[in-house]
Chain A
Amino acid sequence: MKRRSTLPGFGLSLGLTLTWLSIIVLIPLAALFLKTFELSPDQFWNILTSRRTLNALKISFGLAFAAALVNLVMGTIIVWALVRYRFPGRRLFDAIVDIPFALPTAVAGVALTSLFAEKGWLGAPLAAIGIKVAFTPVGIFIAMVFIGIPFVVRTVQPVLIDLDPEIEEAAASLGANRWHTVSKVILPSLIPALLTGLALAFARAVGEYGSVIFIAGNLPNVSEIAPLLIVIRLSEFRYADATAIAVVMLVASFLIIFVVNRLQRWAQTRVPAH
């Protein structure tokens, strides 16, 4: 199978790819790590353990995880409805799922804020029952749920479509009721895709900036996300602070990439034999 290709241009195209990749992506990212090494371990530690930084990281990671969990549950329900049922407007709703991907984050940010502000379409009725969304951590959570929806849906959808119907039929003919078939047969085979979707939604929400900052209120220690704190430190010319926070977040996203790659390998090894 692995015979040598007779096509020309391998050296040239690979060389150009590596050069361009280095210029646009690798050298800039390396600059971030190099800058971090200019800090002494003490300095680095002090920046990260300062109250404001810790709170910003806690808010970003904590709310992103909560939002990813909501996306996991709602994403599964949406995928199920889109794949398994026929209802009017199904194709339209299928297309709508991609809007959070396509809508520029600043547009999503101002739209969500105006929707959930105290006089907004949803904010007013919520305020009437005593729930304040805009300019509170709840607002951050809502924005993170918004941008995370497509990740779970689009990772699980193809797997559910490809699921062999005979497995379910077999379970049913062996006497399993529908709930048992779904929870013991179908959901377990979706687990790698579900976890991948969860990880991707989480990764996106942790680093999200545009759709969050308008609705967040941006009160230090309360509703200030880590990416915003980076921007604030930059505008104060405190480059060391910005760099240290950024490195922590970058390492976190590398870890997530690693987990996702592992999950995908796991998914490939457990594809049921056809």
Chain B
Amino acid sequence: MTMELQQSLEYAAPEVRSRVRPFAAPDDVRSEPRFVRIGIIALATAFLSVFVVLPLVVVFAQAFSKGVSAYFAALSDPEALSAIRLTLLVAAISVSLNLVFGVIAAWAIAKFEFSGKTALVTLIDLPFSVSPVISGLVFVLLFGAQGYWGPWLQSHNIHVLFALPGIALATSFVTFPFVARALIPLMQEQGTQEEEAAISLGASGLQTFFRVTLPNIKWGVLYGVLLCNARAMGEFGAVSVVSGHVRGETNTMPLLVEILYNEYQFVSSFAIASLLAMLALITLIAKTMLERHIDEEELPHDD
């Protein structure tokens, strides 16, 4: 019934439609009574304020609860500094690995047709739906003392678990899909015409990629790197399982937040947490700005 009416409206001449409109003035029929509107807005904003804004405010309130000097003293503690260094190093490793992989995977998936593509995309997405603890556990099963390759590694004195390689591996696992996910829809949208033109004009594959494809997807690449980095720096569960919590050595910032909190050093714990919260806020702001650029990238190039 409604479908029929909808279709008859679509096929109707413009002047007919304008005659129908007055009976169905969009503002009136497409909105609710005033008190319902106010109620829904109040409920939505109250819920978001209590559940999302307040926890964020608490982080900063606790971090500065003993004053600014206590805050900076907590951040310049050697243990804090070593956690910050390790976090930056791990993020640098896993983001660059996943950046290279993500671009290559997106090239294969977006620019070519092949069977099993949907399955491949599902597999790339897999780490998103695995519990962080399990993401760490699988590496313990591979590299741990009782794991498949543990004894061999031990006899060759190679440390993977409870050391940097294990932390980097677990972080790469949980951040695996970000760059590929950001690029695949964007590159599919853009099609292959520009690249085909470049190839037919004699450009090599790499030239085509760096001169034609990359300029078209640069904001998308940045978007993927941004989200990948935020998750890499903030990952807790997976890293917690593989880190071994060696103080001053294998603690990343989120792990140090936990340790200090459990030792009732609340100012120090929330000071580190406030750095991570700022990272989240900056990421969100940058993400919003990038989304605007990406909308422009998706538009077909007319020039």
Q: Which residues of A contact B (CB under 8 A)?
A: 2, 5-10, 13-14, 16-18, 20-21, 24-29, 31-32, 34-35, 74, 77-78, 80-82, 84-85, 87, 89, 93, 95-100, 102-112, 114-115, 120-122, 142, 145-146, 149, 164-174, 178, 181-182, 185, 203, 206-210, 214, 227-228, 230-231, 234, 237, 239, 242-243, 246, 249-250, 253-254, 256-257, 261, 272-273
Cβ-defined partner of B132 (8 Å) among A6, A227, A250 = A227
Size class of the B contact interface (CB-based, 8 Å): 35 or more
CB pair A173–B254 under 8 Å, yes or no, is no
CB pair A115–B54 under 8 Å, yes or no, is yes
* In the complex with contacts A96-B48, A209-B132, A234-B140, A104-B236 CB distance below 8 A: yes
* In the complex with contacts A29-B126, A102-B283, A107-B254, A6-B173 CB distance below 8 A: no
Contacts A103-B277, A146-B51, A257-B125 supplied; 18 other A-B pairs, CB < 8 Å: A5-B113, A5-B192, A6-B199, A6-B200, A10-B108, A14-B114, A29-B130, A77-B47, A84-B31, A102-B280, A105-B254, A110-B257, A170-B2, A208-B132, A210-B132, A231-B133, A250-B130, A272-B3
Residues of A near B199 (CB, < 8 A) are 6-8
Specify the main secondary structure of chain A where it touches its partner: helix
CB pair A178–B32 under 8 Å, yes or no, is yes
Q: Tell me the residues in window 99-141 of chain B with beta carbons closer than 8 Å to chain A beta carbons.
A: 101, 104-105, 107-109, 111-114, 120, 122-127, 129-134, 137-141
A-B contact count (CB 8 A): 312
Least distance between B98 CB and chain A CB atoms (Å): 9
Q: Which residues of B contact A (CB under 8 A)?
A: 1-3, 5-7, 9-10, 20, 23-24, 26, 29-33, 37, 40-41, 43-45, 47-48, 50-56, 58-59, 62, 101, 104-105, 107-109, 111-114, 120, 122-127, 129-134, 137-142, 144, 146-148, 169, 172-173, 176, 192, 195-196, 199-200, 204-205, 208-209, 230, 233-237, 240-241, 253-255, 257-258, 261, 266, 269-270, 273, 276-277, 279-281, 283-285, 287-288
Residues of B near A100 (CB, < 8 A) are 52
CB pair B52–A174 under 8 Å, yes or no, is no
CB pair A105–B236 under 8 Å, yes or no, is yes
